[in-house]
Chains A and B, each alone.
Chain A
Amino acid sequence: MKSVKDIKKLYQNKELKVYEVVEHYLKQIEEWEPNIHAFLNVPYKEIEAQLTSLKEEPSDLPLYGIPIAIKDNMLTKGITTTCASKILENFIPPYDATVVKRLKKAGAIIIGKTNLDEFAMGSSTENSAFGVTKNPWDLDRVPGGSSGGSAACVSSGEAPISLGSDTGGSIRLPASFTSVIGLKPTYGLVSRYGLVAFASSLDQIGPFGRRVEDVAEVLQVIAGHDPKDSTSSPYNIPNYLENLGKTVKGWKVGIPKELWQKGVSEEVLKVLEKSFEVLKNLGIETVEISLPSVDYALSVYYIIATSEASSNLARYDGVKYGYRENNTEDLISMYKATRGKGFGSEVKRRIILGTYALSAGYYDAYYLKAAKVRNLIKMEFEEAFKKVDIIVSPTSPILPFKIGEKISDPLQMYLTDIMTIPVNLAGIPAISMPAGFYNSLPVGIQFMGNFFSEDKLLQFAYAYQENIDLSDKFPPLPKKEEK
């Protein structure tokens, strides 16, 4: 039982019942959690309730009886949603995020809330207030971030699929570090209603899975217009499954020289050589392209994302919900103490940076400038997609790093996102596919597509998967002494 496809077959052939499948995954969670801590919350009572109500539903729902893990920055009604932060440690939402509603309507079982970098700010899941998640392939290493928990649980087999969020690479990087598939859809394709906002113009929710078909199934359920999200695309969505398996012969694949030159480690390049062979065998044509503005992408991202975040996180003030520091003399002291204690240091660092970038005297030089360069980046991608169908790059310039290695140097940590960030700035979709291992450490390859071209992107990823298929490869469960 590895993928959604497998589980569906088991149900179809009446080999297993839903509660048996759920039990299987709960057992996996029990075995793996002491090692990797991918989950913040496995709500057994609510799972029972979901199983009961599922009995009333038709069994041909698209995700009927499929367990799915949800990153803990998406609101689940009645189930604590913490964003891995002390400031929301006991927060119980009164409503479901739109994606959660759609998944439930499709028959999926929410099996747990996964760990993340606090408020999705980070690239390693080390910034969680409730403990770091470990990479199932090497417990001394990070699973990537910020959706580390969602990636690790699919990687280890604790869940067949999960949802993450991606603002600067937070789905794709952990997918690449843990050898699973992670998709960031086009901005506006998936509703952000109920996703705790980090950077409003960059955030997107996306699926993790072991197989492209599974990722496509989830996307089919969660994508599409939501009147509750004014930035969600009003257009009809295509069928993401019907082109899977069709040939990609003759497709043009862009190789952006800027993303292959700078700082990509030898190890990563070595593993990706095989990917290039695969692509050649698919009959595609490589085209060298240039995206000169991606050199500035990191700066643009950290200015815009932190600016928006500093504003989005202002609501955590201890007045209406969440943590409040008591025994304070007056309101301002309460605000400062609550936020000073409730937020972790990466979050505070980014709030300060964003507040600074927006403040009087600095707005033009930072925020406004970044917004202009962002447009340049977007235009370069638009130009490139006139010439090519897909753009390819490594997902990460480096192998998964050790826990604690980069945590004290923020700038170094930010540099791990250098391949993924330009995608969010432009708003285009991208997927990270497992490309292989270097000394047992996973390496991922990133495919980018044009706006709202997920059907093509998935078709391409599927073709790639037919030649490099790591969906059967699970990390070995560590022996108990190795904890």
Chain B
Amino acid sequence: MKKLLYSTLAIAGLFLALSSCKKDYLETSPTDAVSQDDIFKTTKNAWNAINGIHRSLYIQYNGQQDQGGQSKNIIDMDMLGEDLVNPTTANGWFINTHRWLSHRTETSASSPFFNFQFYYDIIANANMIIANIDNAIGPDIDKKAIKGQAYGYRAWSYFQMIQLYGKRYDKAGANSDLGLSLILAPTTDKIVRSTVADVYTQIVADLTAAISELGAAAPRANVSHLNVNVVKGVRARVALAMQDWTLAAQFANEARQGFNLMSNTQYMQGFNNYTNPEWMWGSRQQADQTTFFYSFFAFMSADFNSTNIRTGPKCINSTLYNAITATDIRKQLWDPTGTNTAFPIPPGGARFPYMNRKFLSGGGSSSSIGDVPIMRVAEMYLLEAEARARAGGQEGAAASVLFTLVKQRDPSYVLSVNTGQALIDEIMFHRRVELWGEGFRFYDLKRLNMALNRNGANHVPAVASTMDVPAGDKRWEFLIPRTELNTNSNCVQNPL
């Protein structure tokens, strides 16, 4: 009896001993993520971190259909302007932005929340790279390419945002109104908002660093990466916004070196392929990275089969359109009649006068795949021309730069003899036509301290709702999203 007791206990003890687990039994880790330490162990791994930022420009955020990364900001900027016309409210996406309501609603899930979250996410990732890349094992040339791009992204992100959440930069003013919280290292601290001037100072500093790093880096693999031309292009945009005409012209000129303008045939190909010679920077998408209904092309193309496009294709301001000369290839991007069947539409799609075919979905009506342009060389021509025209004393040079671009679009174009405001107006007209739908109009109106005026064209008052916004109105500033106010007690709201 005792024997049995002991042997049972022995067996039980043995079982317990055997079943006690190995020490790493409780160490588990995900299979679809890697540890932060691993990412910055080598430069080879660290490339993943910068590629992740490239990718972040075209992923979906918050499960929202209007939040396809950079596309959303691009569309917002045109929705807030007067050059893009919504013939109907379609299925509602972007309409509250178009009506100037969304960006002034601090609790909105769309703008102003998204534009804040999206760029600050990029900044957080860029900060991780800047903080950790120096200790990674690998060639210096890779480190420069990675770090330079990180600086470039941080500067670009702040610049995209400061123009939304801060007051316009006024060269003549102190620019001491609140701008953005400057987050320059990985942190979770609650940082106060710096002044607009300070934010611009930081942007310039980052771009200077980026130009320096990328200037010494190996050539980029493709147009979805930043290189020294792109960061110079951003630098030129910044200078333009700061009304520093000389630097703007200089950087725009430097940025466009090595790029060609596209042919008129290429011009009609749908703005969806980054192999186009004019593209300086754009997101590349491949088939298994489908963006479904949050794609840029799900809202802006002529032909993708989304409810939004079927019921509300995007149109151009008729006044702007009518001013385009008949020989200009760009005149063919829009159909003033709304009956031209050469314009592709999705099955069951509605046609409206002045609807566009500038943007065509790379996958036609069945797939919203397509590359999204973020910087084209045409913009650099326009930027240089504008800067020189505004600088004074360089009008000849300005007209000449403009000529190079417009002659390419319109064979009948002759060198402008305009001067002064007339020349500036001519350049701005070409800028509006050339960059329609590419996310510039709100930024342009704001940096130039202009009013929004949607009257006298094909805007539908019931859709647009807001027809005028005076220059300098407080509505030119996006509200700080409520989430930031809730999570950062040191942050204060813009004037309501």
A, B in one complex:
no
